Amino acid sequence: MGRLKAEFIDRVENFSHRVMDVAETLESQHRSWRIIDQMIGAGSSVGANVCESDEALSRKDFAKGLGIALKELGEARYWLRFVVRRRWLPSRRLDLLQKEAIEIKRILGAMVTRTNRNSKAVR
């Protein structure tokens, strides 16, 4: 249905690709495959769920998809912090990506709140 702005979808997709770049770097360093797999799953799921939400057939479905994206973003943020705490990559390498994750979190959170509020007003 195209509820979301193309710029936001691009932003989220870019975030997912940047998480994948980090994962590929870790893989080249022979870091734990399980951690890398978790990071890839969470990071790519953010973009996938936002894109799926954009095609939602109802407000409820739209909010649910964005909520899932928000939870996956939380997991991706966890793995990025994990990588820094383990000193697998320098924090300066991930600073911009972590800041982008916080911005996307704020946007998604506001969208879920607004959608839920508007759904209640329609009832």
pLDDT of residue 112: 94
Residue 123 lies in a domain: no
- Residue 37 domain-assigned (yes or no): yes
For residue 60, tell me if it sits in a domain.
yes
Of the candidates 12, 11, 2, 8, the one whose C-alpha atom is nearest the C-alpha of residue 69 is: 12
Mean pLDDT of 74-96: 97
Evaluate if residue 86 carries a pLDDT over 80.
yes
- Structure confidence by residue, pLDDT tens digits, 7-48: 999 999 999 999 999 999 999 999 999 999 999 999 999 999
Q: How much of the chain, in percent, has pLDDT values that exceed 90?
A: 89
CB 50 within 8 A of CB 4: yes
Structural domain count of the chain: 1
- 1 lies in a domain? no
